[in-house]
């Protein structure tokens, strides 16, 4: 790998994935070191965030109002944390840490758009946490749960993809707010980890309980008060069938759908009427003006040990394709990061 | 018909409708005048409200957390407006007007439950309006639009079943609040009536525009800000595909679904995430503590002529089955009522 200051290394999209994404859909390429113009800044990337949501925009023709679809030959988009190497932008000084929506590459040029934000690491908090619990992942968990889910003590909080980056944080935040937490995951080994390490009160795996409706009837007999959904499709549909009155469904992601040609059907929207329930989508970036306060709250939980950050770290930019595929297919636990800081 | 004080007349459920409801699913029966016990009140029913929502509970085994399913031989449930004939309940004096969830019958016994509420008719407002614009229908339109839809001036408000009881009221309330209003209906004749009489800015009929997605692209090019949905199913799914950012979808009813064996699928829930949109169900009865203020507001609009009440009135209890079927199948306009006051 060449990530010296003499050149750049990128992972580009070689072909649009069809169905399950594979490492072969990506290609590592060496390119020249980018130049910056006035109003731009060059960052050296230290951590790449592996985010399921970006899978959607890898599909051919998947552009929407939020982001355009990724083009073949372009570096793959991702949230990244980097350090300013050169700056011709008055907001960003050399040496500063930045997070932004950027790409799988060793060096990037930013102009202050793409959610760019200066990171000021607090003592006692490792830098990579700003791409995890104190970064987009933690913000997603925090604002989704607190602003949309609005959990009350004693309520039952259901979380899908509970062993993922957002799911591990949401489950713990639910416990902090006095909820009974129920996590959904793929394997029984991961369910056991959710119970023992992450602290879910109940964990349901597809492996042990292929019939989710039956498992929910057993484990959530009084109905779901808050459903934090990262999965969509049939999981969402089944949960809609078991809501309590005035339930809140937080639509965070739809992992089960990104690799499908056509979305799975949802039949149970009528339940939203009889249960007077609310279903709402969001993006963490909607709350940018409150990031500081949220980060301070989460850092407090983190330092006290009430909130543990679970990270699975892959080393080197060449590992990004495998890291992304592992994350998409349930083979990783917690937040999946690629560490470029040792390169 | 025998609706004298010597006996009662009821319309009972003769068979559970399968698919499209038919007058043959009902039967008129003569029964004895009911007796009241302590804590009960006998009312003579003056107006029966034909409400699509009750179709759901006519289907065999359709009970849910909101209401049990209707049983064969039982009088058909409905909202009614009646006058107290005899009272052994301290809250209700003889001569008082009451609205309640009750049944298609000339006389009913109430105990104060089932949404029973005393009506105090205001001068200049016909009594039947308390079963229409100033009753459950108006409350449904008002609270759904104002509490969940939260329309702002210049926003585009889409209404399905726009020519129905709730739809005619919602469209006019939207205009009062400065919205551009777009109504969906079945026939071009009804669409013309929506434009000319009800005051919708745009009306789209299935007859003239079988492709709703194309019609919305043409007539709502900037996206739907508020969707007040009375129809559900494919109509809801299509509208979800054309939301603007932070759209609000008010789930009021699902008329297209009540006569289907299995609900139609909805594929576009992902749109709620990328558009950060909210979809929420409600029942007018959730806002009982605010009925007085809402009725005063609506009565003010009504007296000023800003809000017109559209009623289609059938005479005599024997007309209730046909009235209900007409309302369900789009053959009536505005609020469908059965008038028992002349019996």
- Looking at the predicted structure, is the pLDDT value of residue A126 above 80? yes
- Looking at the predicted structure, is the pLDDT value of residue A66 above 80? no
When pLDDT is cut at 50, 70 and 90, the band that residue B56 belongs to is confident
B residues 66-95 lying closer than 8 A (beta carbon) to A: 66
pLDDT in tens, A232-276: 999 999 999 999 999 999 999 988 888 888 889 999 999 999 999
A residues 280-319 lying closer than 8 A (beta carbon) to B: 280-283, 286
Three-state secondary structure call for residue A18: coil
- Looking at the predicted structure, is the pLDDT value of residue B301 above 80? yes
Q: What is the dihedral of CA B138, B139, B145, B147, to 10 degrees?
A: 160
pLDDT at B112: 87
Per-residue burial over B148-177, b = 16 or more CB atoms within 10 Å of its CB, e = otherwise: bbebeeebbbbbbbbbbbbbbbbbbbbbbb
Please tell me the distance from the alpha carbon of residue A299 to that of residue A306, in angstroms, as a whole number: 10
Instruction: Tell me the mean pLDDT in the region A284-294.
Output: 92
Please tell me the distance from the alpha carbon of residue B286 to that of residue A128, in angstroms, as a whole number: 47
Please tell me the distance from the alpha carbon of residue B13 to that of residue B74, in angstroms, as a whole number: 6
Which tokens hold the place of A173? 């935040």
pLDDT in tens, A43-53: 999 999 999 88
Q: Which are the contacts of A134, defined by CB distance < 8 A and separation ≥ 6?
A: A125, A295, A298, A299, A302
Per-residue burial over A59-97, b = 16 or more CB atoms within 10 Å of its CB, e = otherwise: beeeeeeebeebeeeebbbbbbbbbbbbbebeebeeebb
Please tell me the distance from the alpha carbon of residue B231 to that of residue B223, in angstroms, as a whole number: 19
User: What is the interface size between A and B, counted as CB pairs within 8 Å?
Assistant: 101
Three-state secondary structure call for residue A233: helix
| Burial (CB count within 10 angstroms: exposed 0-12, middle 13-18, buried 19+), residue B192 | middle
Residue of A nearest to B250 (CA): A273
% of chain A residues with pLDDT over 70: 98
Instruction: Note whether B293 and B299 are within 8 A (CB).
Output: no
B residues 122-161 lying closer than 8 A (beta carbon) to A: none
Residue of A nearest to B286 (CA): A276
- Looking at the predicted structure, is the pLDDT value of residue B192 above 90? yes
Among B75, B93, B71, B76, smallest CA distance to B84 is for B93
pLDDT at A155: 98
- Looking at the predicted structure, is the pLDDT value of residue A4 above 50? no
Residue B144 φ then ψ, to 5° = -60, -45
Query: Strands across the sheet with A278-281, in order?
Result: A202-205, A180-185, A156-159, A224-229, A243-251, A278-281, B278-281, B243-251, B224-229, B156-159, B180-185, B202-205
Q: Which are the contacts of A221, defined by CB distance < 8 A and separation ≥ 6?
A: none
Which tokens hold the place of B322? 């046909």
- Looking at the predicted structure, is the pLDDT value of residue B3 above 50? no
Mark yes or no for CB contact A276/B286 under 8 Å: yes
Can you list the alpha helix ranges (DSSP code H) found in A59-200?
Answer: 136-143, 165-176, 188-193
pLDDT at A5: 53
Mark yes or no for CB contact B279/A275 under 8 Å: no
Which tokens hold the place of B36? 């009241």
Which residue bears the tokens 């980056």?
Answer: A165
Say which of B232, B273, B280 has its CB closest to residue A270: B232
Instruction: Note whether A65 and A43 are within 8 A (CB).
Output: no
pLDDT at A56: 87
pLDDT at A112: 87
pLDDT in tens, A172-202: 999 999 999 999 999 999 999 999 999 999 9
ipTM (interface predicted TM): 0.89
Residue B205 φ then ψ, to 5° = -105, 145
Residue B268 at interface with chain A, using a CB cutoff of 8 Å: yes
- Looking at the predicted structure, is the pLDDT value of residue A90 above 70? yes
Contacts of B281 in chain A (CB under 8 A): 271-278
Three-state secondary structure call for residue B239: helix
Which residue bears the tokens 């490792």?
Answer: A126
Which residue bears the tokens 């079927």?
Answer: B325
When pLDDT is cut at 50, 70 and 90, the band that residue B5 belongs to is low
- Looking at the predicted structure, is the pLDDT value of residue B4 above 70? no
Which tokens hold the place of B326? 């007409």
What are the angstrom distances between the C-alpha of B17 and each of A63, B12, B68, B161, B325? 45, 13, 16, 22, 11
% of chain B residues with pLDDT over 70: 98
- Closest Cα in chain B, distance from residue A267 (Å): 5
DSSP H or E stretch at residue A140: helix A136-143
Residue of B nearest to A66 (CA): B274
Instruction: Note whether B203 and B191 are within 8 A (CB).
Output: yes
When pLDDT is cut at 50, 70 and 90, the band that residue B53 belongs to is confident
Average pLDDT, chain B: 94
Three-state secondary structure call for residue A132: coil
DSSP state of A33: P
List % helix, strand, coil for chain A (3-state, nearest 5): 30, 30, 40
DSSP H or E stretch at residue A320: helix A320-328
Can you list the alpha helix ranges (DSSP code H) found in chain A?
Answer: 53-58, 136-143, 165-176, 188-193, 212-219, 233-240, 270-274, 291-304, 320-328
When pLDDT is cut at 50, 70 and 90, the band that residue B248 belongs to is very high
% of chain A residues with pLDDT over 90: 83
Contacts of B253 in chain A (CB under 8 A): 273
pLDDT in tens, A103-124: 999 999 999 888 888 999 888 8
- Looking at the predicted structure, is the pLDDT value of residue A133 above 80? yes
- Closest Cα in chain B, distance from residue A270 (Å): 7
- Looking at the predicted structure, is the pLDDT value of residue A3 above 70? no
Q: Give Rg (Cα) of chain B.
A: 20
Mark yes or no for CB contact B266/A262 under 8 Å: no
pLDDT in tens, B89-147: 999 999 999 999 999 999 999 998 888 889 998 888 999 999 999 999 999 999 999 99
Task: Tell me how far apart the 2 most distant CA atoms of chain B are, in Å.
Answer: 63
Instruction: Note whether B96 and B83 are within 8 A (CB).
Output: yes
Which tokens hold the place of B198? 């009800």
Residue A139 neighbours by CB distance under 10 Å:
24
pLDDT at B233: 95
What are the angstrom distances between the C-alpha of A256 and each of A19, A236, A328? 11, 10, 9
pLDDT at A324: 97
Strands A202-205 and A180-185: parallel
Instruction: Tell me the mean pLDDT in the region A266-287.
Output: 95
Mark yes or no for CB contact B273/A282 under 8 Å: yes
- Looking at the predicted structure, is the pLDDT value of residue A292 above 80? yes
When pLDDT is cut at 50, 70 and 90, the band that residue A1 belongs to is very low
Which tokens hold the place of B141? 């339109």
Instruction: Note whether B170 and B144 are within 8 A (CB).
Output: yes
């Amino acid at each position: 790998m060449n990530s010296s200051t003499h050149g750049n290394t990128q992972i580009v999209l070689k072909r649009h994935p069809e169905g399950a994404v594979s490492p072969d859909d990506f290609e590592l390429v060496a390119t020249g070191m980018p130049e910056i113009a006035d109003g731009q800044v060059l960052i050296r990337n230290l951590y790449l965030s592996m985010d399921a949501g970006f899978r959607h925009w890898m599909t051919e023709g998947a552009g929407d109002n939020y982001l355009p679809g990724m083009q073949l030959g372009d570096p793959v988009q991702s949230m990244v944390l980097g350090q300013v190497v050169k700056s011709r932008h008055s907001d960003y000084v050399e040496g500063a840490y930045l997070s932004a929506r950027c790409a799988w590459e060793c060096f990037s040029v930013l102009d202050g758009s793409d959610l760019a934000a200066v990171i000021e690491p607090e003592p006692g908090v490792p830098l990579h946490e700003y791409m995890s619990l104190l970064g987009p992942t933690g913000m997603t968990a925090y604002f989704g749960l607190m602003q949309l889910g609005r959990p009350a003590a004693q309520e039952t909080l259901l979380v899908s993809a509970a062993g993922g980056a957002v799911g591990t944080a949401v489950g713990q935040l639910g416990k902090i707010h006095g909820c009974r937490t129920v996590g959904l995951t793929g394997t029984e080994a991961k369910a056991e980890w959710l119970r023992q390490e992450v602290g879910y009160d109940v964990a349901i795996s597809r492996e042990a309980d292929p019939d989710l409706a039956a498992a929910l009837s057993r484990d959530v007999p009084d109905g779901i008060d808050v459903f934090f959904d990262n999965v969509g499709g049939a999981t969402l549909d089944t949960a809609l069938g078991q809501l309590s009155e005035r339930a809140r469904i937080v639509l965070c992601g739809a992992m089960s759908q990104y690799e499908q040609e056509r979305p799975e059907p949802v039949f149970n929207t009528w339940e939203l009427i009889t249960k007077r329930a609310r279903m709402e989508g969001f993006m963490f970036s909607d709350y940018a003006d409150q990031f500081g306060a949220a980060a301070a709250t989460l850092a407090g939980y983190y330092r006290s040990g009430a909130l543990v950050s679970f990270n699975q770290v892959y080393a080197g930019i060449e590992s990004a394709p495998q890291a992304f595929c592992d994350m998409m297919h349930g083979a990783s636990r917690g937040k999946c990061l690629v560490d470029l800081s040792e390169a």
